[in-house]
Amino acid sequence: MPEDSTLSLFYTGTTDGSLSEAHTRYFQSQADEAKATLHVEQSHFFPELSIGYARQDILPLKNLNAWMVGVSFPIYFLPQRSKVKQARLAATSAQIQADSNIRELRNKVLELEASLRRYNESLRYYTSSALKEADELTKAANLQLQQSETGIAEYIQSIATARDIRRGYIETVYQYNIAALEYELFK
């Protein structure tokens, strides 16, 4: 059998509980956006001053220039109060959601760290003893078949057991790589 060169591990260094700065900033920016909306709604309680400039070309007249200045004073505050209350509730909800998302992200990172440790222990078991046992089992089965000390059924069973061990190793490497890539994503 040719040597399998495609089986490789994506080693990653685990750090205790560090989260992705991009993810945490994104969650916090959503909460900050809701707070900014609250401040905008609160600013509608104060008078507004507006200045504008317009230039129009209406045939037959051209270059009609206009300056506009406007001032508005809020008189009836009840609708605006309800908008402020609604924005305050939305800001509180957004902050709670951001905290919840960060907590879920931290839990996911901790879960991935535990998975990486578990897969690393399994890989250590496979590389230290199980793969060597599978090779010895294959050699012994081949030797016994050549010496006619065993039947075809026992030979097939021994080879199947050795292949199951190798398949378990390959699946463990696959699971480790998946966990390592996810960990790199969230770290």
**What's the pLDDT tens digit per position in 129-186?**
999 999 999 999 999 888 888 788 888 999 999 999 999 999 999 999 999 999 888 8
- Report how far residue 167's alpha carbon sits from residue 13's, in angstroms, rounded to the nearest whole number: 26
The CATH number of the domain holding residue 59 is 1.20.1600.10
**What's the pLDDT tens digit per position in 76-90?**
888 889 999 999 999
4 is a domain residue: no
- Rounded mean pLDDT, 58-74: 84
Supply the DSSP string of 119-186, one letter for each residue. HHHHHHHIIIIIHHHHHHHHHHHHHHHHTT-S-HHHHHHHHHHHHHHHHHHHHHHHHHHHHHHHHHHH
- Report how far residue 71's alpha carbon sits from residue 48's, in angstroms, rounded to the nearest whole number: 6
Domain count, the chain: 1
The residue segments making up the domain with residue 132 are 21-186
30 is a domain residue: yes
**What's the pLDDT tens digit per position in 7-42?**
777 777 766 656 778 889 999 999 999 999 999 999
7 is a domain residue: no
